């Protein structure tokens, strides 16, 4: 499976961005796509995930209510709609796939290259 994340950029606090994660290859063998972010000098952390069926979603407490994950199963693309952005949302955002209904980073693989999101105050 290959993943391509895109849509990052520079936005002011309170603004919105939508990230995309396009998947190709043998995606049928995977269960869900997860979004992660890594702030400068910090560890990569789970942001949220959605199963390909759309039946299961998870969000980290830091983004719940502001970020929304959606999918276009026909295009094998997941989206991360980020609203009410804060400076602490700044980081490189990655997508990855998993075989499980999980929020654990080590259970994800096929990491995309990441897309930079910068939120200015």
List strand residue ranges (DSSP E) for the chain, in order: 2-6, 9-12, 17-24, 32-38, 44-51, 57-59, 67-72, 77-82, 91-98, 108-109, 115-120
Q: Is 120 exposed, middle or buried (0-12, 13-18, 19+ CB in 10 A)?
A: exposed
The pLDDT, as a whole number, for residue 27 is: 87
Please state, in angstroms and rounded to a whole number, the distance separating the CA atoms of residues 5 and 102: 20
Distances (CA, A) of 40 to 50, 88, 94: 26, 10, 14
Q: Tell me: the pLDDT tens digits for 67-119? A: 999 999 788 999 999 999 999 999 999 999 999 999 999 999 999 899 999 99
> For residue 45, how many other CB atoms are within 10 A of its CB?
13
Residues of the chain above pLDDT 90, percent: 94
C-alpha span between 85 and 105 (Å, rounded): 23
- Predicted local confidence at residue 65, as pLDDT: 98
Residue 22 pLDDT exceeds 90? yes
* Mean pLDDT of all residues in 37-59: 96
């Amino acid at each position: 499976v290959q993943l391509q994340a895109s849509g990052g950029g520079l936005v002011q606090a309170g603004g919105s961005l939508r990230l995309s994660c396009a998947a190709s290859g043998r995606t049928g063998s995977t269960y869900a796509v997860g979004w992660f972010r890594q702030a400068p000098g910090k560890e990569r952390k789970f942001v949220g995930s959605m199963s390909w069926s759309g039946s299961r979603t998870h969000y980290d407490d830091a983004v719940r209510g502001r970020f929304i994950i959606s999918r276009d199963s026909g295009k094998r693309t997941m989206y991360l709609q980020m609203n009410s952005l804060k400076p602490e949302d700044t980081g490189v955002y990655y997508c990855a796939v998993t075989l499980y209904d999980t929020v654990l980073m080590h259970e994800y693989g096929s990491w995309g290259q990441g897309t930079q999101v910068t939120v200015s105050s």
